Amino acid sequence: MRLKKKKVKNNIFFKELEEFLVEVLPQIIIVLIILMVFFIFTDLYQYLTTELWWTQDSINYKYSTIFLLILIAGFSFLPIKKIYSKWPRFSYLIISLFLIILIAHQKYNKFYDNLQQYPKIKTLSKNWGIPGSWVKITGKNFGAAWQPGKVYLGETEMTIKRWEDKEIIFEIPVNVGKNEQTLKVFNAQNNKQEKYFEYYIKFDLKEASEILK
C-alpha cells in the first residue's frame, strides 16, 4: 500500500513537470532564436565598428543589453505555436542552428581577442618631424602604462615620454636617419602593428652641422 501511495505521489510530480515542460519548450525555442540573432548582430556590429570602420574603441555592453531586451520584446509576438503545428521538426533545426552559431560565436571571440593583442595606430599628431621633436600616436591596444613597449622609426628606437593603452608620446632622437622611415610600435608582448606608417624626417643632425659650418 505504501509503495503504491508513493508511486501516485511521484506520478503527480512528473505529470506536473511534463505539463510545465510542454508549455515552456516553445518559449525556449524562441529564446534560442533571439540569442542567435543577438550573437550574429552584436558580433558583426563589434567587428565593423571597432575593427573595420573603427568608429569606436569598444562596444558598450549597456546598449547591447538594451538591444537584447528589444529583441525579446519583438520576438514575443512570434506565432511559434502556428509554426509548430505546420512544421513539428522546427525545434530540431533551431537547436542545431543554435549550436553551430554558439560555436561560431566562440571562434569569433577567440579571433577578436587575438586581434586585441596587436597594437593599432589610428592617427599621428604629424607625419613629419626633426630630431628632438615630440610626436603623439593615438590608437589602441598599446598596453598599460606599467607595461610599456617600444617604438621604432626605421631601425632606431625612440625615447618614450608617455605610454598609455590608447596614447603614446615619443621623442625623435638625434641619430635617426633622414627622409622616409617606417614607424613601428611594439607592445610589451612584442607584438607589432600590422599596418605601417611612413614618417618623413626633414633633416638629420649631420646635415645641420654642415650648414652651420
Residue 4 engages other proteins in binding (rule: CB under 8 A):
no
Q: Cβ distance 161 to 170 under 8 Å? A: yes
Strands in 70-209 per DSSP E: 120-124, 128-129, 134-140, 150-153, 156-157, 159-164, 167-171, 179-186, 197-201
Is 116 one of the binding residues for other proteins (CB under 8 A)?
Answer: no
Give the binding range for other proteins (CB under 8 A) out of 10-18, 130-138, 162-170, 171-179.
10-18
CB of 178 to other proteins, least distance (A): 48
> Residue 197 in contact with residue 121, Cβ under 8 Å?
yes
Q: Is 28 in the site for other proteins (CB under 8 A)?
A: yes
Report CA torsion sign: 127, 132, 137, 141. positive
Listed in sequence order, the residues at least 6 apart from 125 whose beta carbon sits closer than 8 Å to its beta carbon are 135, 136, 137
Nearer to other proteins, 59 or 130 (CB): 59
Does position 179 interact with other proteins (CB under 8 A)? The reply is: no
Within positions 37 to 76, which residues make up the interface with other proteins, using CB under 8 A? 39, 42, 46, 59, 61-62, 64-65, 68-69, 72-73, 75-76
Q: How far is the CB of 76 from other proteins (least distance, A)?
A: 5
Answer yes or no whether residue 35 interacts with other proteins by CB under 8 A.
yes
